[in-house]
């Protein structure tokens, strides 16, 4: 999940700031720069003081610039600056888990009997791609921060093994798990999972009649042929069961090609 900063403008300026931001210097400035200051746990109330306009303006400008940098919201940025004579409330929104900037936080949550989601608080591309490779043919949806995965015997086995890990690709990993997933300690390793990933690469190569990733022209030619052969639009008038078979074949061809394309680009980049 993305780090957040929220602003509410009434007769006061109210800022709610995610504790995962590096705000130690800001809090230190608040504590040392204002006499008309009230502290309630993680809430700082800074009352406007005519005798301390300079520091109050510095604080508001800093918060406005911080907000603009994170949100690109030019309109509210200007509204904040215009209200620099208002009282300011800074609330630090803390999380249940103390955030470790050097760790990856990954939430795995069962969302139905047929699917689960994997959410990255702070994704690293190589770890993201690695996990995507594990569930490649069971992926239903994905974006920069989240994957939706089909829940079946194979994907359940992999996720149970995955959450037993304390590190992946050299990164410390903290899993938060919701659902009936249970860590599997039976010898699962990053290397073992990479073998599974490479097996998928080999299966995809076989699908396109290639023996190595460097037969790229051959792979592209065969992909175009198979994609055209299985494209759902060509089979709309066939029985529903046949349509579903062709849709599944087309999806497998497309996903296999995308896997090989990503793998090929990594190989080309690493040899340049």
- In tens, the pLDDT along 27-65 reads 999 998 998 999 988 899 999 999 999 999 999 999 999
Element at 257 (helix H, strand E): helix 240-271
Same domain, 109 and 166: yes
At 271 the pLDDT is 45
Q: pTM for the complete prediction?
A: 0.40
Q: Does 230 fall in a domain?
A: yes
Same domain, 82 and 10: yes
**Average pLDDT of the residues of the chain:** 84
| pLDDT (tens digit per residue) in 237-251 | 888 888 888 899 999
At 238 the pLDDT is 86
| pLDDT (tens digit per residue) in 220-238 | 999 999 999 999 888 888 8
Q: Does 98 fall in a domain?
A: no
- Which domain covers residue 162, as residue numbers? 103-188
Estimate the share of the chain in helix, then strand, then coil, as percent rounded to the nearest 5. Answer: 50, 20, 30
Q: What CA–CA distance (Å, rounded) separates 257 from 163?
A: 28
Q: Does 19 fall in a domain?
A: yes
Mean pLDDT, range 127-145, rounded to an integer: 82
Of 144, 170, 188, which residue sits at a domain end?
188
Q: What CA–CA distance (Å, rounded) separates 272 from 34?
A: 56
Of 188, 211, 234, which residue sits at a domain end?
188
Of 64, 93, 122, which residue sits at a domain end?
93
């Amino acid at each position: 999940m993305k780090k957040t900063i929220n602003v509410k403008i009434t007769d006061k300026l109210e800022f709610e700031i995610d504790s995962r931001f590096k705000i130690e210097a800001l809090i230190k400035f608040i504590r040392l720069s204002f006499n008309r200051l009230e502290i309630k746990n993680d809430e700082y109330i800074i009352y406007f003081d005519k005798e301390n306009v300079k520091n109050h303006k510095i604080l508001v400008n800093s918060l406005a610039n911080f907000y603009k940098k994170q949100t690109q919201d030019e309109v509210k940025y200007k509204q904040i600056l215009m209200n620099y004579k208002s009282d300011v409330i800074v609330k630090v929104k803390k999380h249940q888990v103390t955030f470790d900037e050097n760790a990856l936080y990954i939430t795995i949550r069962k969302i139905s009997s047929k699917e689960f989601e994997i959410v990255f608080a702070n994704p690293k591309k190589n770890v993201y791609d690695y996990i995507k490779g594990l569930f490649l043919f069971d992926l239903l949806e994905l974006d920069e921060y989240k994957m939706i995965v089909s829940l079946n015997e194979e994907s359940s086995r992999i996720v149970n093994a995955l959450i037993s890990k304390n590190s992946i690709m050299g990164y410390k990993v903290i899993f938060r798990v919701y659902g009936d997933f249970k860590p599997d300690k039976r010898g699962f390793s990053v290397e073992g999972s990479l073998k599974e990933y490479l097996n998928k690469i080999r299966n995809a190569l076989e699908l396109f009649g290639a023996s190595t990733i460097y037969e790229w022209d051959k792979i592209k030619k065969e992909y175009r042929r198979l994609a055209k052969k299985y494209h759902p639009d060509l089979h709309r008038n066939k029985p529903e069961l046949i349509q579903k078979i062709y849709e599944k074949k087309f999806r497998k061809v497309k996903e296999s090609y995308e896997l090989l394309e990503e793998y090929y680009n990594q190989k080309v980049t690493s040899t340049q």
